[in-house]
Amino acid sequence: MLCLGALGLEPAQAQRQVSNERPTDFLSADFHKGRRELLRQQMPAGSVAVLFASPVRNRANDVSYIYHQHPDLYYLTGYTEPDAVLVLFKEPQNLGGQTGVTEALYVQPRNAAREMWTGRRIGKDGAKQQLGLQYTADNTEFAAAPIQWSNFGQVLMLTLPTDAANDPRNPADLHDLVASFRQKASLPADFSPAVGEAHKVIQRYGTANPTELRPYLTNLVSSQPQLATDAYVQAYLKADTDADRQKVVASRPVSRFDATTLDELLNQMREVKTPEELKLLRQAVRISAVGQQEVMKATKPDMGEMEIQGLHEYVYKKYGAEFEGYPSIVGAGNNACVLHYETNDKPRVGNELLLMDCGAEYHGYTSDVTRTIPPTGKFSREQREIYELVLAAQEASFKECKPGAEFQAPHKAAQAVITEGLKRLGIIKTDAEVRRYFPHGTSHYLGLDVHDRGTYGPLKAGNVITVEPGIYIPEGSPCDKKWWNIGVRIEDDILITSSGYDNLSKEAPRTVADIEAMMAKPSALDNFKLPILKN
Per-residue pLDDT of 75-107, as tens digits, reads 999 999 999 999 999 999 999 899 999 999 999
- pLDDT of 6 above 70: no
HSE-up of residue 241 (Cα within 13 Å, Cβ side): 3
Count the neighbouring beta carbons within 10 Å of the beta carbon of residue 56: 20
Per-residue pLDDT of 190-241, as tens digits, reads 888 888 888 888 888 888 888 888 888 888 888 888 888 888 889 888 998 9
- Smallest CA-to-CA distance from 263 within 189, 159, 187 is with 159
Q: How is residue 402 annotated by DSSP?
A: S
Q: What percent of the chain has pLDDT over 70?
A: 96
CA distances, 178 to each of 48, 53, 117 (Å): 16, 10, 26
Per-residue pLDDT of 34-74, as tens digits, reads 999 999 999 999 999 999 999 999 999 989 999 999 999 99
- pLDDT in the model for residue 15: 43
- Smallest CA-to-CA distance from 284 within 364, 361, 357, 371 is with 361
User: Model's pTM, two decimal places?
Assistant: 0.92
Edge-to-edge strand order for the sheet containing 369-373?
329-332, 354-358, 369-373
CA-based angle 209:212:218, to the nearest 5? Answer: 125
Count the neighbouring beta carbons within 10 Å of the beta carbon of residue 89: 21
Q: What percent of the chain has pLDDT over 90?
A: 81
Please give the average per-residue pLDDT across 111-135, as a whole number: 95
Handedness of CA 400, 401, 406, 407 (dihedral sign): positive
- pLDDT of 476 above 80: yes
- Diameter over CA atoms, the chain: 79
Count the neighbouring beta carbons within 10 Å of the beta carbon of residue 389: 21
List all residues 6 or more positions away from 152 whose beta carbon is below 8 Å from its beta carbon.
Answer: 46, 47, 48, 256
Higher pLDDT, residue 223 or 432: 432
Higher pLDDT, residue 371 or 250: 371
Q: Which residues pair with 466 in a beta bridge?
A: 493
Per-residue pLDDT of 438-466, as tens digits, reads 999 999 999 999 999 999 999 999 999 99
- pLDDT in the model for residue 402: 98
Instruction: Tell how strand 492-496 and strand 369-373 pair up.
Output: unpaired
